[in-house]
Structure 1
Amino acid sequence: MTEPTQDEAHGGALGSRLNWLRAAVLGANDGIVSTAGIVVGVAGATEDRGALLTAGLAGLLAGSMSMAAGEYVSVSTQRDSEMAALAVERQELKEQPEAELVELTDMLEARGLSRKVAREAAEQLTARDALKAHARVELGIDPDELTNPWHAAWASFLAFTAGALLPLLAIVLPPAAWRLLVTVVSVLAALVLTGWSSARLGAANPRPAVLRNMVGGALAMAVTYAAGSLLGAAGV
């Protein structure tokens, strides 16, 4: 019999890493689309490099800070809920250990074990670490791997910033005559990459994800460019 590989032995950890990677790809995708929409919209109204840089930087900073703050609040709420659930479970184990043992046995039996085997497994798990056993089986929580809001916030901030830098640099670095073309082409190419990556990480067909990304990005840029052109023509 072959030995299990590291990924097989730690499937939960691998799944967690894939979730973080998928979140990073989606964060970068948000940065690309939102910043591209801003700078292309401003480019429709003016060719001034300073205005484009200012708008792009403002969009990058506002978007990355918003993403980080939103992720921090969301994950903090999730962590608070997990901690509260663990506290309740810890108290129940202290006050009524036998009832909790029966509950764990019932849950293991519901997963397909015979009553005898479920009881033996529940006793062994309880002897090893009762709280961890109940947290994993009953609550679906690993007490050793609770979500960290700071990690989530920094990951969102960096992912959004990395994505936003592409349209920002594409709009300010080329000569005025090439700015729009370079930005649109580079943004669509980046959206192909993020769409393909997110689909592959989710074991899905990449084609629909790539098409959705390209159509959504192109539509965002077209709408903002049209709005910027109208405002520029009106002298606003």
Structure 2
Amino acid sequence: MRKEYHYTHRTGWLRAAVLGANDGLVSTASLVLGVASAHATRSSILLAGVAGLVAGAMAMAAGEYVSVSSQADTEQTDLALERTGLEVDEEAEHRELAEIYVQRGLNAELAKEVANQLMAHDALGAHARDELGINEILRARPLQAALASAASFIAGATMPLLTAVVASQTDLIPFVATASLAFLALLGALAARAGGARLIKGAVRVLFWGALAMALTASVGGLIGTPV
């Protein structure tokens, strides 16, 4: 039997990982370019970059954890309501589940039989999946999302920082900008591949927004660093 391979099971961690890496790369590269454009010393540039990496990673982890925890709380509340409903009036819950299957295209008799068998096997699981849309693949996992987000942010932020370390003071801005854009294009392509989308489309969309962010930040740094 041919086994199909789907990308849906990656949705939870892929979103957090792509968001974290993209934010880490763009924010740190923009910060480095902004400070460098203000004619700061190398040590000040690197200090700003490292501080941005630490603060950004913690902010991403905390934000992701709080956000996904809220989703998990909502899921648990809905599951508790379903559990109570099954205890108080199982027959009504059975009719509700059968009606869902009728709306999906089954005739009433078959829908009733499917509801019977699924509820006999796992009543709460059947309602969680088919009424609430909660399943193991898409279920909220706060800690996993927070760790993935922080780790990917650090990975993305490390790229422009390392470039700033090896580049000379005079070549730092073009080196960091070029390397960061190349990394962004690669990141977009890898994310698209992992999600089963077109590589070019994934690369172009992150490249555009990343280039815009870096250009604006560098302009601000140049303006502030210019003697008035």
- Residues 1-236 of structure 1 aligned to structure 2 (within 5 Å): 3-5=1-3, 7=4, 14-142=7-135, 146-234=139-227
C-alpha contact (below 8 Å) 1:18/1:201 kept by paired residues: no
Query: Take 2:213 and 2:91, find their aligned partners in 1: how far apart are those partners?
Result: 60
The Cα of 1:83 is off from its aligned counterpart by 0.2
Query: Take 1:209 and 1:123, find their aligned partners in 2: how far apart are those partners?
Result: 45
C-alpha contact (below 8 Å) 1:125/1:133 kept by paired residues: yes
TM-score by length of 2: 0.91
Pair 1:222–1:87, CA change in 2 (3 A)? same
Structure 1 residue ranges (4+ consecutive) displaced by more than 4 angstroms after TM superposition: none
The Cα of 1:145 is off from its aligned counterpart by 6.9
Letter in 2 for 1:231: I
Query: Take 2:108 and 2:216, find their aligned partners in 1: how far apart are those partners?
Result: 63
Question: C-alpha root-mean-square deviation of aligned residues, in Å?
Answer: 2.0
The Cα of 1:58 is off from its aligned counterpart by 1.0
Deviations 1:1-33 (A, max 9, x none): xx242x55xx5xx51224422431232011111
Number of residue pairs aligned between Structure 1 and Structure 2: 228
Letter in 1 for 2:208: V
Query: Take 2:2 and 2:90, find their aligned partners in 1: how far apart are those partners?
Result: 35
In structure 1, the gaps of 5 or more residues are none
Query: Take 1:216 and 1:105, find their aligned partners in 2: how far apart are those partners?
Result: 47
Letter in 2 for 1:197: L
C-alpha contact (below 8 Å) 1:37/1:220 kept by paired residues: yes
Pair 1:73–1:200, CA change in 2 (3 A)? same
Query: Take 1:31 and 1:154, find their aligned partners in 2: how far apart are those partners?
Result: 14
Pair 1:22–1:142, CA change in 2 (3 A)? closer
TM-score by length of 1: 0.88
In structure 2, the gaps of 5 or more residues are none
Q: Between the two proteins, what is the percent identity of the paired residues?
A: 47
